[in-house]
């Protein structure tokens, strides 16, 4: 069947219409005429497989990765980088308007100079079939494992360590849902490896210990240090951060500097002296902004992350940060002293209903909302506007080149 691609979806698929029904077609670009086969029928939409591009977009290019059309990790490699940024901005604007009713003008997306080799972390899946063990990524929309031997969006050294592990899969005992995580710090080049639901034998462990500063095992969420130091060191904004294997840290080390700068610039620090950093993790925002204000309170439900945040404050000689363990929506209303402003960087699922109610109860003058999901961001912003807040600025930052994901920094003012 032949389709005209009207637009792009938030997940990077081309969007066509046929018989009043939306058709999502992977690897098709807005403005193209394509031939595709319907592979999945749903009540309100269908999905198609691209067979042929009849009328090609000027923005179509050859993907850099040989696994691109099989692997589900990237969705924009067939599009020029500048056009990727244009698409992401348009999608953010459309979603915020459609779901949240937000009509505030979105600033131009801030991209990177080099949209390759930026990821400082990778999670490889491992399984076994009649041909033996293999390590790779899942095929798009499936659990079919695609063996990948080199990924062009990973930092180069991560590919080297990945190859060492891949060559030694016979020495790794696996079970269901086995995977291995590798992270490298950008400044100190320290490496942590975490074996999740799998175990390396002593020979594999000894070889990898020559490459990694820390090696962990993780079974059912319980981590155990197998080799090396407890934490690796990262540097952001001139501050040192100690990270455990499961601590959240942005995967694009270059853009995280821009993210912190943007958050700092949006806050009116002449008015915001006491700040709450909700979902603070290891204290990236708290510590970077602490010397510009009188007090920062960091809140997170992850005890290990809060312990590491406290360590990071001590290491950086920051004395005006207080870190608290617990649910943000419960701690906020119980704070004994009022605060002026708030920073939030919640998980992809966004805020719980209780959180927006809690914020509305304490009414900080300004709220910075950092989000990697335009859909949940739009949903939450709508509730903020219904609770006496106005969206002032929206700044998209491309933390994830070659993919459909986009980070957004939003300033809300009471």
One-letter-per-residue 3-state SS of the chain: CEEECCEECCCCCEEEEECCEEEEECCCCCCCEEEEEEEEECCCEEEEEEEEEEECCCCECCCCCCCCCCECCCCCCCECHHHHHHHHHHHHHHHHHHHHCCCCCCCCCECCCCCCCCECEEEEEEEEECCEEEEEEEECCCCCEEECCCCCCECHHHHHHHHHHHCCHHHEEEEEEEEEEEEECCCCCCEEEEEEEEEECHHHHHHHHCCCCEEEEEECCEEEEEEECCCEEEEECCEEEEECCCCCCCCEHHHHHHHHHHHHHHCCCCCCCEEEEECCCCCHHHHHHHHHCCEEEEEECCHHHHHHHHHHHHHCCCCCEEEEECCHHHHHHHCCCCCCEEEECCCCCCCCHHHHHHHHHHCCCEEEEEECCHHHHHHHHHHHHCCCCEEEEEEEECCCCCCCCCEEEEEEEC
CB 230 within 8 A of CB 244: yes
Residue tagged 């617990």 (tokens)? 326
Q: Which residue out of 71, 272, 328, 372 is catalytically annotated?
A: 372
CB 168 within 8 A of CB 210: no
Determine whether 372 is an active site residue. yes
Tokens of 218: 């993780």
Residue tagged 């958050």 (tokens)? 263
Q: Any idea which residues carry the catalytic annotation? A: 372
């Amino acid at each position: 069947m032949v389709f005209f691609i009207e637009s792009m979806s938030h997940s990077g698929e081309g969007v066509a219409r046929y018989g009043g029904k939306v058709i999502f077609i992977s690897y098709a670009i807005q403005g193209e005429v394509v031939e595709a086969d319907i592979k999945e029928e749903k009540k309100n939409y269908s999905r198609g497989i691209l067979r042929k591009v009849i009328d090609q977009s000027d923005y179509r290019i050859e993907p850099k990765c040989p696994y691109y059309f099989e692997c589900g990790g990237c969705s924009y490699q067939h599009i020029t980088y500048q056009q990727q940024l244009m698409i992401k901005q348009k999608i953010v604007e459309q979603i915020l308007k459609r779901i949240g009713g937000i009509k505030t003008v979105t600033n131009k997306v801030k991209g990177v100079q080099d949209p390759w080799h930026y990821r400082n972390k990778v999670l490889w899946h491992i399984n076994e079939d009649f041909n033996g063990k293999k390590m790779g990524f899942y095929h798009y929309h499936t659990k079919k494992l695609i063996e990948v031997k080199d990924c062009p969006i990973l930092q180069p050294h991560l590919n080297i360590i990945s190859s060492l592990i891949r060559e030694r899969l016979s020495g790794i005992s696996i079970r269901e849902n086995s995977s291995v995580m590798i992270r490298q710090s950008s400044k100190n080049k320290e490496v942590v490896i975490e074996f999740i639901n799998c175990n390396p034998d002593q020979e594999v462990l000894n070889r990898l210990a020559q490459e990694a500063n820390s090696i962990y095992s993780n079974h059912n969420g319980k981590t155990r240090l197998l080799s090396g130091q407890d934490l690796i060191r990262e540097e952001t904004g001139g501050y040192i951060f100690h990270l455990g294997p499961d601590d959240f840290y942005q995967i694009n080390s270059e853009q995280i500097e821009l993210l912190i700068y943007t958050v700092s610039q949006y806050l009116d620090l002449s008015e915001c002296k006491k700040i709450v950093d909700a979902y603070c993790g290891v204290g990236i925002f708290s510590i970077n902004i602490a010397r510009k204000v009188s007090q920062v309170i960091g809140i997170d439900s992850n005890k290990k992350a809060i312990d590491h945040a406290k360590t990071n404050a001590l290491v950086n000689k920051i004395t005006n940060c207080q870190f608290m363990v617990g649910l943000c929506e419960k701690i906020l209303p119980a704070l004994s002293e009022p605060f002026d402003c708030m920073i939030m960087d919640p998980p992809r699922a966004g805020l719980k209903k209780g959180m927006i109610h809690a914020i509305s109860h304490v009414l900080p003058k300004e709220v910075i909302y950092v989000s990697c999901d335009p859909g949940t961001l739009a949903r939450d912003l709508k509730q903020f506007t219904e609770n006496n807040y106005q969206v002032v600025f929206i700044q998209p930052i491309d933390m994830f080149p070659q993919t459909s994901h986009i980070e957004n920094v939003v300033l809300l003012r009471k």
